[in-house]
Structure formats: C-alpha cells, structure tokens
Amino acid sequence: MKTLEITNLKKSFRSNFLIKKYHILKGIDISVEQGEIYGFLGPNGAGKTTTIKCIMGLLFPNEGEILVNGQPSASIAARRQIGFLPENPYFYDYLSASELLHFSASLFAIPATVARERIDLLIKQVGLEGHEHLKLRKFSKGMTQRLGMAQALIQDPVCLILDEPFSGLDPIGRKEFRDLILNLKGQGKTIFFSSHILQDMEMMVDKVGIIINGRISRQGQLSEMIASSTQYHEIVCSRISEKQLTKINPNFVSHDNQFIITLDNEADINLVVESIIHNNGLVIAVNPVKKTLEDIFLKELREV
C-alpha cells in the first residue's frame, strides 16, 4: 500500500512585481510504500524543501495531487497521519521538554491520561530521559532535534516527513538519530526525508529520489541502483613478487604486504587469477567495487 503518493506536482512563484514566473517544481512523481524509508536528495535550490512544504500544506501547488494513505494531503484525515520535523525546529525557550510535548498533545486533542503515557514513552524513545524538565533554552542542537522528533511522533503518525534531520549534528548525534529512524521503521512507520549527508542516507534508505532543477532525474530502490553500477573489480593477492605480478598485470598497488590489482574488464578476472595461482601466489579476494550513492548523485548532476 502506498503511504505517500505525489503525482505531477508543479509549483511556481512570481517575483519582480509579478512579472517573471519561476517554475520550482516541474511535474514530479513520487511513490513511497508503507514501511519504507525514502531518501530525497538534490542540490540547493532543486526543490526539496518546496516539495516538503507542499506535502505539509505550507505551500499550495499549482498542479498535481498529493495523497497520504489514499487521502488528499490537505484533508484533516491525512493531517492526523503525518508527523513533521523541519530543518531548524524552534520551540519556546522557557518551556521544558515535557511541557512542550503536553502542549503538542493538546493540539491533537489527545486525552490527558493517554498523553502522559505517550510522552513518557517518547522521552525514553528519543533518548531525553532525565532531561524532560530542563528548559529548552539549555538544549543542545542534538537534543532539540530529538525533541522535535518526539513532537512529530506525539499523535502516533503513520508517515514522518523530515527536512534535513541530520543538519548540525555531530557524528555521535548522527549515529543515534540514524538508529532512532531505523527503529521507527521497525515499528512500521513510513519515513520521507531530505538530506545533504549522503553517507547517512546510504546506510538507511530503501528508495532514493534525486531531484534536479525541479524534476526527478532518477528514482528507485537503492539496492538496485548500486547493484547495477559496478565500476571495476579488485583482486587482492600475496606471496608473489612485484616482478611476476607486473608481467601478469601492471595495474596494481602494494599495501600491507599485499597487492591490489584493479581490473576494468570483468572478462580478465579468471585469466589474472589463474596466472597468480600458476606463479604460486595466493588470491585472497576478488571484490566488485560498486558506485556509492554519492557517485550516482554526482553522475546525475553532470548529465543535466
């Protein structure tokens, strides 16, 4: 079942006294299945935040349709199923974490007894236990992000929309936030997020969409993208002299008493392996070196 479905989404703005029209989104299509983590990436100005604002109803599209669990995203039924964490969440400095979450629960008309139990659970889930009564002006960036996630989860949504959730976090904070998102996926949540930190995205996502100049240039399962993008093969070997190896294939480097041979042509693998063994060498590994998400993303940028 599709939790989030975007069809032919277009958005434009006028400026210069309404004379010039800027087309930001030029007909994008996105589909996110239930329980998936969808990574939305693109360069600055490509339309990521505009798309998220359209999903959240902060902007109204010129054309297109956005459905959440089959309901129009602007409907109350859809709104109740979405949790949102903006790039730079801002909360009242003199509230505590507990007070903020109780206030958020009241906006969704959650009964007080249910809210208390849910808030206690969320405080533990996001790792703020022991800080629930600390004033928010004393929170670090990472703590504020965690609280923002708790606030986004207060109504137990089926779909989470996260705009640059790793922005400003240190490596430890990023690791903990990744674990939190993966735990939410394990609970059946659908997560749609944008990020510039491609290494984090590559560790988490099921599906990727790349937006460039307001259009989806590539979209699909990350595993399929990477599986079909082998750059070259490496053969790791030892117990052979450099002189012998040069005769077999001169394209190698030495590292820690081992040699790493790089082969651009997959058809050469068997011949090189047999030659190493014939010269009494030891073949340790044959590894395909695949493109990373960053490689795929940069390739899409260059082809625009």
- Shared domain for 239 and 179, answered yes or no, is no
d(CA 148, CA 87): 10
Q: Domain end: 210, 226, 242, which one?
A: 226
Q: Is residue 268 part of a domain?
A: yes
pLDDT, tens digit, for every residue of 250-291?
999 998 889 999 999 989 999 999 999 999 999 999 998 888
d(CA 22, CA 97): 40
Q: Is residue 294 part of a domain?
A: no
- Shared domain for 264 and 181, answered yes or no, is no
Q: For position 248, which CATH number holds?
A: 3.30.70
- Shared domain for 58 and 200, answered yes or no, is yes
Q: Domain end: 226, 241, 267, which one?
A: 226
Taking a C-beta distance cutoff of 8 angstroms, is the pair 152, 191 a contact?
no
- Shared domain for 51 and 174, answered yes or no, is yes
- Shared domain for 148 and 180, answered yes or no, is yes
Taking a C-beta distance cutoff of 8 angstroms, is the pair 39, 207 a contact?
yes
pLDDT at residue 125 is higher than 80: yes
Sign (positive/negative) of CA torsion 256, 261, 266, 267? Answer: negative
Taking a C-beta distance cutoff of 8 angstroms, is the pair 131, 143 a contact?
yes
- Shared domain for 252 and 160, answered yes or no, is no
Which is more confidently placed, 41 or 14? 41
Range(s) of the domain holding residue 26: 2-226
- Shared domain for 146 and 126, answered yes or no, is yes
Q: Is residue 260 part of a domain?
A: yes
- Shared domain for 48 and 91, answered yes or no, is yes
Sign (positive/negative) of CA torsion 288, 209, 82, 167? Answer: positive
Which is more confidently placed, 173 or 60? 60
> Which pLDDT belongs to residue 39?
95
Q: Is residue 299 part of a domain?
A: no
> Which pLDDT belongs to residue 17?
67
Query: What is the identity of the amino acid at 177?
Result: F
Q: Is residue 296 part of a domain?
A: no
Residue 5 burial class via C-beta count within 10 angstroms: exposed 0-12, middle 13-18, buried 19 and up: middle
Q: Domain end: 179, 197, 226, which one?
A: 226
pLDDT, tens digit, for every residue of 175-209?
888 998 999 999 999 999 998 888 889 889 999 99
d(CA 177, CA 171): 10
- Shared domain for 259 and 211, answered yes or no, is no
Q: Is residue 301 part of a domain?
A: no
> Which pLDDT belongs to residue 228?
67
pLDDT, tens digit, for every residue of 131-189?
999 999 999 888 898 899 999 999 999 999 999 988 778 888 888 889 989 999 999 99
- Shared domain for 46 and 143, answered yes or no, is yes
pLDDT at residue 1 is higher than 80: no
In DSSP terms, 238 is beta-bridged to 282
Q: Is residue 298 part of a domain?
A: no
Q: For position 82, which CATH number holds?
A: 3.40.50.300
| Model confidence band, residue 217 (pLDDT cutoffs 50, 70, 90) | very high
Q: What separation in angstroms does the CA of 197 have from each of 43, 148, 167, 171, 212? A: 11, 19, 8, 11, 17
Average pLDDT of the chain is 91
- Shared domain for 158 and 182, answered yes or no, is yes
- Shared domain for 52 and 158, answered yes or no, is yes
pLDDT at residue 229 is higher than 80: no
Its pTM stands at 0.83
Q: Is residue 249 part of a domain?
A: yes
Give the number of domains in the chain: 2
